[in-house]
């Protein structure tokens, strides 16, 4: 059996050693103080996160996908981030996908032992028909998950670019990924419970990767979420209407009518307004500019 005791995520945290004997407010303060250190450790990984984003943008622009692979908390966070992209950015659900060891059952209940098979990780990559256009990101906060490493090896064999995320030092757990993201958040408040600081760091990094990549391919105008499905619910109809009001200066009734005329698509509505064109022409202009609103309406 492999001894993982030297890994940063397995070490005891001296600052929480007596957390079982303090009051609830004191326990809160301990956890809050530990969580406050996460952002600076993510910042220290800035260069590698940016390189990862560049790979993902290139994949999207070539018709490829970002595929997360993980087990346990890491797998669930990958699936979560993937599932949030379509409603946020109106992206094709195939663009960002999550693979979790143990399959969909593992999202709701731990499937113990599923993470121990590199062969299963490789098989999952084959099942997703990964190719050279894709980017596969393995997430293993403790760094050693066989399922994840098996998936990354197979992804490289199939020509995909690879990213490896871990919260342990490279010298302790090396990888051969094109980009390594190491966010060294240190020992957890409860020893080995990487759903805590390591999980928070994972969510922060995944947020950055998909959000900035989507921005780069034209899914926002300024900081407005203009590529949104306003047909989904009333909240998004209201948000779409307000975005049109903000950018165009129209009053609410006029903005609501413009949104309706555009087929519920804020980007199309903005182009219709600023270029004085109908819906079909606006959509063609957006296609010519690869979905980017700014170069169309600022002409």
Q: What is the pLDDT of residues 161-175, one digit of tens each?
A: 999 999 999 998 999
Q: How far is residue 101 from each of residues 81, 155, 159, 160, 195, measured CA to CA in Å?
A: 16, 16, 22, 20, 16
Are 247 and 270 in contact by the 8 Å Cβ rule? The answer is yes
Are 268 and 229 in contact by the 8 Å Cβ rule? The answer is no
Record the pTM.
0.92
- What pairs with residue 99 in β-bridges? 69
Q: Which of 61, 112, 115, 188 is catalytic?
A: 115
Of 54-63, 64-73, 201-210, 290-299, the poorest mean pLDDT is in: 290-299
Q: Copy the structure tokens of residue 165.
A: 């995320």
Q: What pLDDT is attached to residue 231?
A: 76
Domain regions of the chain by residue span: 8-216, 234-297
Q: What is the pLDDT of residues 111-131, one digit of tens each?
A: 877 888 999 999 999 999 999
Indicate if the pLDDT at residue 3 is higher than 80.
no
CA nearest neighbour of 278 among 291, 294, 261? 261
Q: Which of 10, 41, 54, 84 is catalytic?
A: 84
CA nearest neighbour of 291 among 186, 218, 209, 193? 218
Q: What is the phi/psi pair of residue 42, to 5°? A: -65, -40
Question: What is the biggest distance separating any 2 CA atoms in the chain, rounded to whole angstroms?
Answer: 69
Task: Give the CATH class of 234-297.
Answer: mainly alpha
Q: Could you say which of 3.40.50.720, 3.20.20.140, 3.40.309.10, 3.40.50.10490 is the CATH number of the domain covering 8-216?
A: 3.40.50.10490
The reply to whether domains 8-216 and 234-297 share a CATH topology is no
Q: What is the pLDDT of residues 74-121, one digit of tens each?
A: 999 999 999 999 989 999 999 999 999 999 888 888 887 788 899 999
206 falls in which pLDDT band (50, 70, 90)? very high
Active site residue 41: no
Work out whether the CA dihedral 21, 27, 30, 35 comes out positive or negative: positive
184 falls in which pLDDT band (50, 70, 90)? very high
Indicate if the pLDDT at residue 137 is higher than 70.
yes
Rg (CA), the chain: 22
Alpha-carbon distance 169 to 190, whole Å?
Answer: 20
Active site residue 61: no
């Amino acid at each position: 059996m492999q001894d993982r005791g030297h890994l940063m995520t397995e070490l005891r945290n001296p600052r929480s050693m007596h957390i079982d004997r303090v009051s609830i407010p004191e326990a809160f303060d301990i956890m809050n103080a530990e969580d406050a250190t996460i952002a600076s450790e993510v910042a220290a990984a800035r260069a590698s996160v940016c390189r990862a984003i560049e790979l993902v943008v290139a994949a999207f622009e070539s018709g490829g996908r970002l595929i997360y692979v993980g087990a346990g908390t890491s797998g669930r966070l990958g699936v979560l981030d993937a599932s949030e992209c379509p409603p946020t950015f109106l992206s094709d659900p195939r663009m960002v996908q999550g693979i979790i060891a143990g399959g969909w059952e593992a999202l709701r209940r731990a499937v113990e032992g599923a993470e121990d098979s590199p062969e299963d990780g490789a098989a999952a990559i084959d099942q997703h028909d990964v190719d050279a256009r894709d980017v596969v990101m393995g997430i293993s906060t403790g760094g050693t998950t066989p399922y994840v490493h098996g998936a990354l090896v197979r992804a490289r064999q199939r020509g995909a670019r690879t990213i490896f995320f871990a919260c342990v030092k490279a010298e302790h757990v090396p990888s051969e990924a094109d980009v390594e993201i190491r966010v060294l958040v240190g020992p957890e408040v409860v020893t080995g419970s990487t759903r805590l600081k390591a999980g928070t760091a994972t969510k922060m990094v995944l947020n950055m990767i998909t959000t900035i990549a989507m921005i780069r391919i034209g899914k926002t105008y300024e900081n407005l979420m203009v590529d949104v499905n306003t047909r989904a619910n009333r909240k998004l109809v209201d948000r779409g209407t307000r975005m049109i009001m903000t950018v165009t200066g129209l009053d609410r009734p006029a903005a609501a009518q413009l949104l309706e005329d555009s087929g519920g698509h804020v980007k199309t509505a903005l182009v219709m307004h600023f270029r004085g064109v109908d819906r079909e022409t606006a959509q063609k202009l957006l296609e010519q500019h690869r979905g980017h609103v700014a170069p169309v309406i600022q002409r």
